[in-house]
Structure 1
């Protein structure tokens, strides 16, 4: 039987009770249909005692990130993001023993990264790369 790519991932549907379900579904749909990622999975991060945030992982099938595992944290534009919050996200990812993606330009060699999938009020989703540590600035001619 052929899988219908227009239906949401079953793991996303299992998160219906999560307060972040709406943004999770929007970002998952964009990654699956708009960006054409495959093997999308949902992970649940324990940010603190009361906050469980969904995190998506998947593999882009084209572009610079082709065939490399990536992570996306869905966020609303109105959310306040702090260094402490981002640090707790990376700590939670490490606690789950997720295979973290390293940035080759990292100064210590241990800088992991993920993308923030931020949904604007018009439903546009933009992606920002966030690194857990310092990295060398990219030159204009580098990928």
Structure 2
């Protein structure tokens, strides 16, 4: 991991939160290299003991937030509440769930009860 070009951007958080390092590293590479997000920033979310990302999908102006986690982690409602608070109460957050085979599934989370679009 240390020899990968993206390691430098993530190094402080990888060392601070080693339990979340794999999900952080995998999600960053997916967003920056595969999905080619613009203005991708690495953020510290100490309340959730991990890093997160802020950026824009290609050809969009919407600022989006992504928090990586592992499929094996247990997350609580207070964890999600702290994440929304720390990230400035965005309308939604994407949870990047990483598996051992390097698959990533993104779930869009909104605070409260949100009616799905028709």
1:70 to 49, 64, 67: 64
**Higher helix proportion:** 2
5+ residue gaps, structure 1? 1-5, 95-99, 102-111
Give the match for residue 93 of structure 1: 87
Contact 1:73–1:117 under 8 Å retained in 2: yes
Query: Map of 1:1-143 to 2, 5 A cutoff?
Result: 7-8=5-6, 10-17=8-15, 18-19=17-18, 20-47=20-47, 52-62=49-59, 66-94=60-88, 100-101=89-90, 112-139=91-118
User: Structure 1 residue 67: deviation in Å?
Assistant: 2.5
Contact 1:72–1:115 under 8 Å retained in 2: yes
Contact 1:11–1:41 under 8 Å retained in 2: no
Q: Please give the per-residue CA displacement for 1:72-105, whole angstroms capped at 9, x wherever unaligned.
A: 00000001122121112112223xxxxx54xxxx
Distance 1:13 1:26, change over 3 A: same
Work out the CA distance in 2 between the residues paired with 1:9 and 1:40: 14
- TM-score computed with the length of structure 2 as normaliser: 0.84
Contact 1:44–1:54 under 8 Å retained in 2: yes
Where do 4+ consecutive residues of structure 1 move more than 6 Å?
none
User: Structure 1 residue 9: deviation in Å?
Assistant: 6.5
- TM-score computed with the length of structure 1 as normaliser: 0.70
